[in-house]
Chain A
């Protein structure tokens, strides 16, 4: 593909990009791949199956969204699967604790690609009001790639529906012709996220080297000056 072609693709990915005048009010089939992507994505985005997976308060709003007043089946999302193998979308609906992050990562690894993660509510996005706690992960995006963030505490069902629409838009932009737009059109299965380990604190194996360095440093620091404030400042 030429450079020009790449630019054009990027433009298609950008939802803000203006539609050229000659293409307005007409369907343009510029390549077979793009047509295929459009049809394929139309099918995918209208049949996202979420996983039945409630964590905390937000899960109740998620149930309210699935119930009759807001009715997420209008988006083709009513098939809520209890098994990660059959699910496309993981809605992280609530506080992710250190104890729970291990099963969450395991469930994510078990989901078949293409898979999406929607972080619902302040807690799932960044720890929320419970962030300062000793057992709370400050945001699931430290472990999993998150596609859509829905802020709020809790987001109302309508806010969540807006998040679903955002996710559909994102799916629409993923191109079969462009392997870089999504991880799973590349070669072979993607790598599993390494499971966190419940040690003295939760340990992300990807940060093991950091742990070793810090463990040594922390020991010396603690011996030298236990004053927490000065430490914080020094670090900031």
Chain B
């Protein structure tokens, strides 16, 4: 049986670090002794000092997540929560700093951990905390000029209906009404008193170019001209609605700023309104290539919280086997498509993409038969999975011209894992890895040195291609990964080609895991796939906080959840790997040609649903 709570030997170094910090800064640091909370609360005035000490002397060099929580009515303060890790593995050092709600200001930790850059901007955007010393503090997901800070608990959106779900208007007297019809004009929007549409120019666009030194600026010693290029949000190689604003000199990138928020669909705010279970299908839509591993991350985070309470039953062994099976198949799907997209970005018009999609369709057939949907699987539950594997993969002819396929599930899976997918991976290797076009475009381009990769909080293949052997499956194991044998793939150069190779090798490692999973699946056939009684739609989640993280195909996916003991999470934050990996985009692209920026972006492998949430 497995346990999501870090084992005792993992806890002790963290405890040790905490007491060292307390001794070192006796007046500034105190333990967070609220029920269900962990870590330390630091005096904001000495936050930078404490963080520097934790990084340099205690070895917490990797900042995983930084987020803000609004404790309105529970102390009336805003709290910034940092989760720092050692790249050698182990549990988190949780640092918190509190500030007043009215004039919320905290020192920026970007000098200590540059990876905090975007996360602090997000906290400023959505929570309204000003960070002193931040190099570029402006809105990141919303636009400049937006009214208020939407994640604050007293902020209400235009179609505000009720604080928490389920809404009372749905039952027992639910006369249907479309919210935009009975509230045709968002009434909660506050316009300034002197607001006048005729004379109004939106500050949104101007803010994007603010730091970019717009205007003609030809230096006498250079024959080239500086200009600013805006790529996106509609551009075939930005993987969705991402936008890059680059200042280029000739063709060389001098400055590059990712502009995002074009798919910001308020995941976190909706998540705080949902019940714990209702969030599960929403997590599908984060990284929509990997819905199953998103499910897993969220399930682990909530199970961590539930384990604090009484009557908690950990997932059964069968459930863990199924979870790992799904997570690893997802990894293969993702990496295959990621490589297809990368090649698309490099100019191979759709052929690698099409080949990747063929294999993806076959895996999706399996997902669809097991979970009911191709992409939005909604499969994991707290304590197990929603369903077991079906005996056969088949459908019934329902519509005109329906053609029925009928496979035995286990045989299908065996053939998929043992024959079809290895062959597909070999094929990618054969036609891409040694291709001169690929090597010429990729080797030595977009280099991210090891130290920068850690400092900028990159995760997943990006981090591992820069020579850091950090994989959550090994660093802080979850589910049944400790029993499984696989290697953490590492490469040293940190260029596009290495990121590509890491993905290929990770697929091979995933296949290795899947081969070990197959006998386990057969052994556990018929065992319960869900712990405890089914049919509970409002699980008991005790008050407290938890940070559950999994190694998603794109990197470390974390869920920071605060519960006040009610049906809905008080705070629900997603540490999205794609979002934080973009922090490193400027560092990677600087000095390369604008044409390479597209390939570099492809090699990070972002998904906009996760970047903007």
Tell me the A residues contacting B by CB distance below 8 Å.
52-57, 59-61, 63-64, 67-69, 82, 94-95, 97, 99-100, 103, 107, 123, 126-127, 129-136, 138-139, 142, 153-154, 156, 197-201, 203, 205, 207-208, 210-212, 214-215, 218-219, 221-222, 228-229, 231-232, 235-236
Contact = CB atoms under 8 A, between A and B. Distances in A.
A52 B240 CA distance: 10
Given A126-B178, A211-B185, A135 B142 contact: yes
B202 interface: yes
Contacts of B147: 200-201
Given A67-B354, A129-B282, A138-B180, A197 B234 contact: no
Contacts of B360: 64
Contact of B357 (A54, A69, A97, A219): A69
A107 B234 contact: yes
B263 A94 contact: yes
A164 to B, nearest CB: 16
Nearest to B264: A135
Given A136-B266, A218-B190, 17 more contacts: A57-B285, A57-B609, A99-B261, A131-B159, A132-B161, A132-B273, A134-B269, A135-B261, A135-B264, A138-B178, A201-B146, A211-B185, A214-B185, A221-B187, A228-B156, A232-B161, A232-B183
Contacts of B188: 228
A156 B609 CA distance: 18
B451 to A, nearest CB: 35
Contacts of B200: 197, 199
A214 B6 CA distance: 54
Given A54-B240, A232-B182, A68 B197 contact: no
B124 interface: no
A163 to B, nearest CB: 15
Given A56-B263, A201-B147, A215-B191, A82 B236 contact: yes
A200 B146 CA distance: 4
B526 interface: no
Nearest to A195: B202
Interface residues of B, number: 68
Interface string B375-403: 11000000000000000000000000000
A130 B156 contact: no
Contacts, number: 177
Minimum-distance CB pairs A-B, first 3: A133-B266, A134-B157, A200-B147
Contacts of B184: 210
Contact of B158 (A97, A134, A139): A134
A132 B186 contact: no
A60 B288 contact: yes
Contacts of A57: 285, 288, 375-376, 609
A56 B357 contact: no
Contacts of B269: 133-134
B262 A199 contact: no
A55 B187 contact: no
Contact of A100 (B150, B161, B202, B233): B233
B501 interface: no
B15 interface: no
Contacts of B157: 132-134
Given A68-B354, A99-B142, A228-B160, A56 B204 contact: no
Nearest to B177: A236
A101 to B, nearest CB: 10
A231 B187 contact: yes
Interface in B258-286: 261-267, 269-270, 273, 281-282, 285
